[in-house]
Structure 1
Amino acid sequence: MSSDKQTLKPTIGLFTAVTIIVGTIIGSGVFVKPSSVLAYAGTSNLALWAWLLGGILTLASGLTIAEVGAQITRTGGLYAYIKDIYGSFWGFLTGYTLTVLYGPAIIVSLILFLGILITKFFTISSFWIIPIGAGIFLFLLLLNIIGTYYANAMQNISTVAKLIPIFAIVVFGLVYGQEGVFGSDVTQLIMNNDGTVNFGRAVLATLFAYDGWIMLTTMSGEMKNPQKHLPLAMLIGILIVTLVYVMINVAIFKTLPASEVYLFGNSVSAEAAVILFGSIGAKIVNIGLIVSIIGTLNGKLITFPRIPFAMAQDNLLPYSQHVQYVSKRFGSPIGAHIVMSVLTIIILTLSICFPTVFDADYLSEITIFIIYFFYMASFVGLFILRRKNKGQKRAFSVPLYPVLPILAMSGGLFIIINTFISDPLGSGIAIGGLLLGVPLYLFTVKRT
């Protein structure tokens, strides 16, 4: 392996860029979140407004980051932005959080969820949950290793495939649904079940469903025309996701009374599909959910390894020359894939051996609290870059400046505050996990 800085070829066009955004955002939330958002919103009108507002905040964030990304066009995404704007220390902590804490946790969550879905669909023993989930993970990992072309092809196919059952529910729900979409109020039902009506929490639930929009930026260095295609892909991808989320909720409310949408909980989409398509309806939703999770998992495997790859290029990891290794035969960042795979296996093993103590789902949820600090820093970074590069021509400028960046910052601050209030212990654990990156940074600096 050479110690020279290695590069990845620019192979990603606009279509693949859009499918990476859509594929990494749309996971299980599109099928299971409608009920939980309604449970906080209280009325169908406010639930739909929550989904729309979540989409607007996400779009504001995406376009704000797109201007930053159009100026810092190298691989690494959020890590690269924070490092270039604030320096190596903060960049390292960003990359460490994404690579060591959040990335492996979300990948393990997807592996386990996928295993559960498939074993339930085929009614086989729960013993196979881990082997099936891990087997699909290894298959997708192999695709990513043997070439970005195959991983991108899988992403394109799975994204289109996951939209088919969603499109079917939307169309048939709008055409054949008999219920009223607007004006339904389940506030009293929620209160009777000891629930709490809180529009802010409803918006927060949608924002978690929109999470993943930034992952395309990790591959800026592999885009054929990042200055043009990154902003355009952000715009198209987030608009598609927002439209999908809003319209499937409209279709569900038109198919089922709001009271049943609330009571059915996570199975609400399956129940709506049974009404629309008969007994096969639940299977359609389950197949759609399985395909959706496969696409999301593949998207994570494409994007997350680019972060340690970029860190290694900056010599900010132990054994950086190995981590940044790019296969001459396949053109893929094999070293970074190995790093992410080893960390994923460690988290998976801990989840299996200590399930009551080590919950990958919970780790991924509380880590988002920290990631939003870095999001906020990148939003502020836009103002820093504008002042630093004043008078220079920009490839892309965020529309309605400074309104959209301020809106993006408001959404990020909203998530941070709400998460801290609702789960102070988890927030503290996340901060503790972040602080563990400080000695690792100092160790790495001493080695270089």
Structure 2
Amino acid sequence: MEKQQLHRGFGLWASLSLVIGTIIGSGIFFKQGSVLQVAGNTTTAMWAWFAGGILTLASGMSVAEVGSQMAKTGGIYHYIEQLYGRTLGYLAGWMQVVFYGPAMMGAISAYFGVLFVAMFDLPSHYSIWIGMAALACVGLINSIPNRFSAGFQMVTTVIKLLPIIALIVFGLFFGHHDALGQTVTAIGHTSGGGFGVAVLATLFAYDGWVTLANISGEIKNPQKTLPRAIVFGILLVIVAYVGVSFGVYRSLTANQIASLGENTTLAMATNAFGYWGGRLLSVAILISLLGTLNGKVVSFPRVLYAMADNGDFLFANIFRSLHHRSKTPNAAIWLMIGIAFLMIFFTNPDQLSNYAVFVTFLFYILVLAGTFILRKRDPQGLNRSFSMPLYPLVPIVAIVGSLYIEVSEIMHDFQGVLISVLIVLLGYPVLLNLRHKQK
């Protein structure tokens, strides 16, 4: 019997939209105040947004080089398995399937519900159900041929870019303040942390680019398309984020931004375009969250599918199967959505996703270090369709930046680090059980 194959429905534009659409969620709209507060002044904050983008770009180029040589569904699960062996690869996949992926889906869905009820003045207890309904709808879109999820990603990405362009243009041409050199002096809003912590604060807004690597089996010509989409997607996001920040600093004073906090961009949009302008921005943010959620639902179940295809998951025959018409891994999609539903009901998925940052970056570091391993294995680059510029500086920057994040996490949330590590290690006895059954 011929093995079912994933449908390669993601071309360059759809892949580019997945990168941009998954990165740009709510962070750029809600992180302006917190980044400025810890930076202390607009110049440092602007450099922090730029530095966070450069660190993300260095990581993206490094992973793109690895991915161009391992164009197979599964992303870092597949990369780490090929670089370091089955055990570490399995733990990387386990982390994404039962912990990080569902927590991210749950957190985005829950946040969508909160914003939705606030916008339409609905009772707050409806937020959970609205968030779950949004996740279910995105799940349905992903359960039919992937040209629909790819199209949905492109549409939501275009829509979410419109308010970003409007904020940049307004700030550039109609702002009345000096974007650089302003200092936060408001009482009760003293800065703390400086440049390093400010960069760390921006990385939440830059997260999500690596999800494209999980769907290599559905990308047309992945050896060339994946590196291009990751690199150009991150570059566009850097321009958007730095541009929005510059526009905000031109439109509002540093003290106003620090006081407004998460409401900074909403206040700017309302001042610039009136009441309905603010409402339209809120609608754009909701659509932006749907696009980000779609990126997660497209990406993470493919890791489960890849693990099951390798026999690295319980009930592998179920989760390696594809729907006979849509060629999508529907069993994997709905299992992860089900776990996300449980997290929404019984835990705080946003907190769990924060806990997962530490172990996620541990596995990122392993992939980044893999660039040196693959260069040593193939010094002539015969199997390398994409070679990053400025090697070895680029992966070194990415690794040092990621190590800084790890140290910061240990210092700021040691309990969360322990919880995340324990959850990942719970996958090891499952792996031992699978190996025993396979003997």
Distance 2:43 2:3 in 1: 53
**Match of 1:48?**
46
Residues 68-83 of structure 1 mapped to structure 2, 5 A cutoff:
68-83=66-81
8 Å contact kept, 1:173–1:276: no
> Is 2:418 the partner of 1:418?
no
8 Å contact kept, 1:6–1:313: no
**Of 379, 386, 406, the match for 2:375:** 386
3-state SS of 1:120 partner: helix
Q: What is the CA-CA distance between 1:203 and the residue it aligns to?
A: 0.2
Give the letter aligned to residue 376 of structure 1: I
Distance 2:358 2:80 in 1: 17
8 Å contact kept, 1:147–1:330: yes
Give the letter aligned to residue 429 of structure 2: P
8 Å contact kept, 1:76–1:220: yes
Distance 2:404 2:193 in 1: 17
3-state SS of 2:78 partner: helix
Residues 219-258 of structure 1 mapped to structure 2, 5 A cutoff:
219-258=215-254
Q: What is the CA-CA distance between 1:173 and the residue it aligns to?
A: 1.9
Specify every segment of 5 or more residues in structure 1 that has no aligned partner in the other structure, as ranges: 351-357
Q: What is the CA-CA distance between 1:42 and the residue it aligns to?
A: 0.6
8 Å contact kept, 2:40–2:190: no
3-state SS of 1:73 partner: coil
Give the letter aligned to residue 256 of structure 2: E
Q: What is the CA-CA distance between 1:348 and the residue it aligns to?
A: 2.2
Percent of matched pairs sharing the same residue = 38
Give the letter aligned to residue 64 of structure 2: A
Distance 2:232 2:189 in 1: 40
Residues 240-279 of structure 1 mapped to structure 2, 5 A cutoff:
240-279=236-275
TM-score normalised by structure 2 residue count: 0.97
Q: What is the CA-CA distance between 1:5 and the residue it aligns to?
A: 5.1
Distance 1:72 1:31 in 2: 35
**Of 311, 323, 339, the match for 1:343:** 339
Q: What is the CA-CA distance between 1:397 and the residue it aligns to?
A: 0.7
Distance 2:414 2:136 in 1: 36
Distance 2:301 2:365 in 1: 23
3-state SS of 1:307 partner: helix
Distance 1:374 1:392 in 2: 24
8 Å contact kept, 2:37–2:190: no
Give the letter aligned to residue 25 of structure 1: I
Q: What per-residue deviation string (whole Å, max 9, x for no partner) do you get for residues 79-136 of structure 1?
A: 1100111111001100010111111111111111111111111111123212211112
3-state SS of 1:305 partner: helix
8 Å contact kept, 1:75–1:220: yes
Give the letter aligned to residue 189 of structure 1: A
Q: What is the CA-CA distance between 1:169 and the residue it aligns to?
A: 1.3
Distance 2:281 2:374 in 1: 45
Give the letter aligned to residue 243 of structure 2: M
Distance 2:124 2:191 in 1: 32
**Match of 2:195?**
199
**Of 154, 170, 186, the match for 1:189:** 186
> Is 2:433 the partner of 1:435?
no
**Match of 2:306?**
310
Distance 2:133 2:40 in 1: 41
Q: What per-residue deviation string (whole Å, max 9, x for no partner) do you get for residues 260-301 of structure 1?
A: 011100000011111111222321221111111011011111
Specify every segment of 5 or more residues in structure 2 that has no aligned partner in the other structure, as ranges: none
**Match of 1:395?**
385
8 Å contact kept, 1:5–1:324: no
Q: What is the CA-CA distance between 1:194 and the residue it aligns to?
A: 5.4
**Match of 1:322?**
318
8 Å contact kept, 2:132–2:341: no
8 Å contact kept, 1:144–1:332: yes
TM-score normalised by structure 1 residue count: 0.95
**Of 296, 299, 309, the match for 1:300:** 296
Q: What is the CA-CA distance between 1:361 and the residue it aligns to?
A: 0.7
Distance 2:432 2:168 in 1: 53
Give the letter aligned to residue 357 of structure 2: I
Q: What per-residue deviation string (whole Å, max 9, x for no partner) do you get for residues 2-51 of structure 1?
A: 8x754202121100111000111111101000111001111100000000
Give the letter aligned to residue 212 of structure 1: G
Q: What is the CA-CA distance between 1:376 and the residue it aligns to?
A: 0.3
Count of aligned positions: 437
**Match of 1:10?**
8
